[in-house]
């Protein structure tokens, strides 16, 4: 996780990206096609 001082938008974008990666990983585990 990167920390940008005074840039909330950037921080939120990183949180969304991190969540998307976790979501994609979870889907990869559930779906038969790795």
Q: Return the pLDDT at 12.
A: 80
Q: Return the pLDDT at 4.
A: 55
Q: Return the pLDDT at 19.
A: 93
Q: Is the pLDDT of residue 33 over 70?
A: no
Report yes or no: 33 and 21 within 8 Å, Cβ to Cβ.
no
- Higher pLDDT residue, 14 or 32? 14
Q: Where are the alpha helices (DSSP H) in 1-34?
A: 8-30
Q: Return the pLDDT at 18.
A: 93
To 10 degrees, the CA torsion angle through 3, 23, 34, 2? 0
> 2-29 pLDDT, tens per residue?
555 555 667 788 899 999 999 999 988 8
Q: How far apart are CA 27 and CA 29, in angstroms?
A: 5
């Amino acid at each position: 996780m990167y920390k940008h001082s005074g840039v909330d938008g950037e921080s939120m974008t990183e949180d969304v990206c991190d969540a998307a990666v976790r979501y994609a990983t979870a889907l990869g585990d559930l779906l038969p096609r790795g």
